């Protein structure tokens, strides 16, 4: 009996989780994996395309090439290129004697518009960092700590029960006290469950998360409007007619009224425009999927932790409308499941509980570990009616 008792003690001691103190949970993920991907793509792609536009400008020199008259010197031709790039206005005759001007400024503003787009897409990230991350990190630290502590309390409770059973000379007294403790709910630690239930009535985190993704959709729509209204208007125009007869050159007869120029950077302009449309078109379904996850409960984590005493949010059907802070916290707990040491132990116990061939009344980790320690989870049948045994 002492050997079995020692083996049970070793088994329960190994099941205890190590006590983590000091600086802990440094790798806590405060962004969901898909949100992080959206952030890197939405902010990083404009910066990458901006570097491509600047690299083309520095490598090839002037982004336009004007066909100056043959009697122009090299300095005069360079002046024509510089003047036409500064104005970047296309002149065409609408009617005889009337010029119609069309600005081509999106070519000049391309790298700066990409920088503005990157800053705009980073605003939802800043909103989340300053409005939600402080409260979310404290919630996750408390909940992760309490989940692991609740598991350890259950294991220590089984160790205490095993010691009492070994010291008790009368098995009837031990089982009567055990059933009384279960009836009075002494084994339950409802602090965490009540805290999570209170989070169902809080909506600050979910409101910030909805606002973050809504802003991303809004800024993406604004990007489509900008590209469609300004870039599409000059997307297919490779050449334009430039006028340099202004100021001191307005009265010069040897200067032609219009000079044809070619946009050498048009290929980069097209690549940037098409890439931006393709990238943000791919991001839109991902952002919508992030929003739809708030419309349903992620019950996988809760189903595993149902084995803890007084953690029966699912079995008692305490979950209501999923659009609240609790659902957001559950999503982040799933993302930080590596920080939950008790999750792997409880997952194994859930599998063993479901595959056990013996029919025992196993509801919590206390019941299962009691069974593994060599104790019956409930009073044995031969102890239920002692009076009948004494008086057949």
Is the predicted pLDDT of residue 146 greater than 80, yes or no?
yes
Among the listed ranges 89-93, 120-124, 214-218, 358-362, which one has the minimum average pLDDT value? 358-362
Q: Where are the alpha helices (DSSP H) in the chain?
A: 2-15, 33-60, 74-87, 105-108, 110-131, 133-167, 171-183, 191-199, 204-226, 232-234, 266-292, 300-305, 325-335, 341-355, 365-372, 386-390
Q: What is the pLDDT of residue 286?
A: 95
Is the predicted pLDDT of residue 170 greater than 80, yes or no?
no
CA distance 299 to 82: 64
Is the predicted pLDDT of residue 237 greater than 90, yes or no?
no
Give tens-digit pLDDT for 98-129: 667 778 888 888 889 999 999 999 999 999 99
pLDDT band for 345, please (50, 70, 90 cuts). confident
For the chain, the domains span 1-42+105-236+276-371
| Cα–Cα distance list, 278 to 19, 47, 214, 217, 227 (Å) | 49, 16, 20, 15, 12
CA distance 240 to 55: 24
Most confident option among 200-209, 248-257, 338-347, 354-363: 200-209
Q: What is the pLDDT of residue 392?
A: 41
Q: Tokens 């939950």 label which residue?
A: 340
Most confident option among 97-106, 357-366, 373-382: 97-106
Rounded average pLDDT over 311-326: 72
Rounded average pLDDT over 188-203: 80
Which residues make beta-bridge pairs with 263? 64
Rounded average pLDDT over 297-307: 79
């Amino acid at each position: 009996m002492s050997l079995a008792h020692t083996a049970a003690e070793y088994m329960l001691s190994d099941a205890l989780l190590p006590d983590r103190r000091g600086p802990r949970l440094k790798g806590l993920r405060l962004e969901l994996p898909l949100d992080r991907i959206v952030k890197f793509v939405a902010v990083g792609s404009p910066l990458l395309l901006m570097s491509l536009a600047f690299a083309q400008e520095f490598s090839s020199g002037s982004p336009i090439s004007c066909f100056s008259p043959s009697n122009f010197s090299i300095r005069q031709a360079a002046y024509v290129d510089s003047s036409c790039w500064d104005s970047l206005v296309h002149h065409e005759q609408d009617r005889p004697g009337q010029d119609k001007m069309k600005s081509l400024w999106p070519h000049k503003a391309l790298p700066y518009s990409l920088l503005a787009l990157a800053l705009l897409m980073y605003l939802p990230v800043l909103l989340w960092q300053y409005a939600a991350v402080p409260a979310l990190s404290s919630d996750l630290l408390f909940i992760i700590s309490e989940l692991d502590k609740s598991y350890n309390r259950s294991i220590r409770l089984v160790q205490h029960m095993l010691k009492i059973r070994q010291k008790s000379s009368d098995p009837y007294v031990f089982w009567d006290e055990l059933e009384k403790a279960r009836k009075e709910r002494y084994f339950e630690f409802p602090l965490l469950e009540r805290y999570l239930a209170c989070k169902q009535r809080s909506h600050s985190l979910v409101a910030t998360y909805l606002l973050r993704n809504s802003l991303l959709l809004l800024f993406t729509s604004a990007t489509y409007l900008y590209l469609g209204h300004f870039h599409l208007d000059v997307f297919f125009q490779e050449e334009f007619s430039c006028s340099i007869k202004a100021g001191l050159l307005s009265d010069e007869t040897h200067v032609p009224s219009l000079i044809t120029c070619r946009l050498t950077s048009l290929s980069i302009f097209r690549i940037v425009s098409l890439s931006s449309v393709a990238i943000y078109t791919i991001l839109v379904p991902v952002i919508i999927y992030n929003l739809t996850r708030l419309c349903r409960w992620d019950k996988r984590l809760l189903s595993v932790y149902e084995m803890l005493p007084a953690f029966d949010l699912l079995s008692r059907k305490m979950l209501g409308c999923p659009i609240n802070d609790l659902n957001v916290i559950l999503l982040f707990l799933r993302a930080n499941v590596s920080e939950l040491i008790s999750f792997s132990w409880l997952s194994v116990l859930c599998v063993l509980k479901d595959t056990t061939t013996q029919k025992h009344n196993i509801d919590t980790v206390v019941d299962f570990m009691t069974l593994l320690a060599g104790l019956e989870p409930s009073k044995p049948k031969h102890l239920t009616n002692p009076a009948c045994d004494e008086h057949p």
